[in-house]
């Protein structure tokens, strides 16, 4: 017969095993529940007094992703219907974000999320909730800690994707990275690239550096980086927007390329005739 003391000793010697995947899944579930509670709170703010009518209860019912809901009649008496967005039915695969010390990895992920949101009709709050559910690793803990600290300071929850991006950039895009990007932008030129490649790389740099320009500033930046042979010819024209400028630069570049190929062909032909003689 095994004594109770020996059992207790064996239990003490056993080290508990921790399944990190289970812990992360539990945190995700809690985060989803917290987001749902916030959603209910935002919708209840508009209620000034309790309503007992069944029709009024139906009118203020918060829809699930698969339900339709009807907004209160507009001042003109017209009704508008909106459908709750069902993300699963749309089969949209959101890229998960794993914390990284590489700012370019974060910015690449941010750009992909932006592209997805441009194709979907989602509210700002839904964007925040959907994005946060795709956080992994350290980002989950960071997000929960941020929400807790804001609630302790009586600050409003983050309800827009743009605001969430600003907080994420503070963590994953250090200030020195912007300084380096701005230096690159000032020195960036076409070099050996064709016009399309040059404009593409320039746009990526501007996005990463969070540069906002009007039409004139954008055209000036493009012109400054083009090769001298193109700049001299483009200075003879007036452009309405940067698309017109880029289109003209591509045409001039192609024309110059054709001239050079014809010239080289003539030179090679002349050389061959000289050798034959």
What is the CB-side half-sphere exposure of residue 28 using CA atoms within 13 A? 15
Burial letters for 116-130: b for 16+ Cβ neighbours within 10 Å, e otherwise?
bbeeeebeebbbbbb
Report the chain's mean pLDDT, rounded to a whole number.
76
Identify the bridge partners of residue 166 per DSSP, sorted by sequence position: none
Answer whether 0.85 is exceeded by the pTM: no
Q: How many residues does the chain have?
A: 277
pLDDT digits (tens, 9 = 90+) for 230-240: 999 999 999 99
**Which whole-number Å values give the CA distances from 20 to 15, 16, 100, 166, 202, in the listed order?**
15, 12, 19, 29, 42
- Predicted pLDDT of residue 274: 55
Residue 45: band (very low, low, confident or very high) from pLDDT cuts 50, 70, 90: low
* pLDDT for the residue 226: 94
**Residue whose C-alpha is closest to residue 61's, from 75, 47, 79, 77:** 47
**Dist CA 186 CA 103 (whole Å):** 20
- Position with higher pLDDT, 180 vs 270: 180
Concatenate the DSSP letters of all residues of the chain into one string.
Answer: ---HHHHHHHHHHSPPP--HHHHHHHHHHHHHHHHHHHHHHHHHTT--S----HHHHHHTPPP-TT-EEEPPPPTTS---EEE---TTTTT--PPPEE--S-HHHHHHHHHHHHHHHHHS---HHHHHHHHHTTEETHHHHHHHHHHHHHHHTTPPPP--HHHHHHHHHHHHS-HHHHHHHHHHHHH---TTS-HHHHHHHHHHHHHHTT----HHHHHHHHHHHS-HHHHHHHTTS--SSHHHHHHHHHHHHHHHHHHHHHHHHHHHHHHHHHHH-
- Reported as a single tens digit per residue, the pLDDT across 239-253 is 999 999 999 999 999
- 223 CB contacts (<8 Å, ≥6 apart)? 231, 234, 245
Paired with 69 in beta bridges are 82
Give residue 194's pLDDT: 93
| Strand 68-70 versus strand 135-136 pairing type | unpaired
């Amino acid at each position: 017969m095994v004594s109770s003391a020996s059992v207790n000793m064996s239990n003490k010697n056993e080290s508990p095993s921790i399944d990190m995947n289970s812990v992360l899944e539990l945190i995700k579930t809690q985060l989803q529940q917290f987001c749902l509670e916030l959603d209910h709170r935002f919708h209840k703010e508009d209620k000034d007094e309790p309503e007992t009518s069944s029709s009024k209860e139906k009118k203020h019912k918060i829809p699930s992703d698969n339900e339709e809901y009807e907004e209160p009649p507009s001042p003109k008496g017209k009704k508008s219907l909106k459908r709750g967005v069902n993300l699963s039915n749309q089969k949209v695969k959101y890229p998960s974000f794993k914390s990284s010390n590489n700012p370019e990895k974060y910015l690449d992920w941010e750009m992909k999320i932006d592209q997805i949101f441009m194709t979907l009709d989602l509210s700002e709050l839904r964007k925040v909730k959907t994005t946060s559910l795709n956080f992994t690793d350290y980002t989950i803990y960071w997000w929960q800690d941020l929400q807790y600290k804001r609630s302790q300071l009586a600050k409003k929850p983050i309800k827009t994707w743009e605001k969430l991006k600003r907080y994420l950039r503070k963590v994953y895009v250090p200030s020195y990275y912007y300084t380096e990007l701005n230096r690159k932008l000032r020195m960036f030129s076409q070099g050996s690239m064709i016009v399309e490649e040059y404009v593409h790389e320039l746009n990526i740099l501007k996005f990463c550096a969070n540069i906002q320009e009007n039409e004139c500033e954008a055209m000036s930046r493009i012109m400054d980086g083009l090769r001298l042979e193109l700049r001299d010819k483009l200075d003879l024209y007036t452009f309405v927007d940067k698309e017109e400028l880029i289109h003209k630069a591509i045409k001039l570049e192609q024309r110059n390329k054709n001239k050079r190929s014809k010239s080289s062909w003539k030179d090679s032909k002349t050389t061959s005739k000289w050798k034959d003689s």
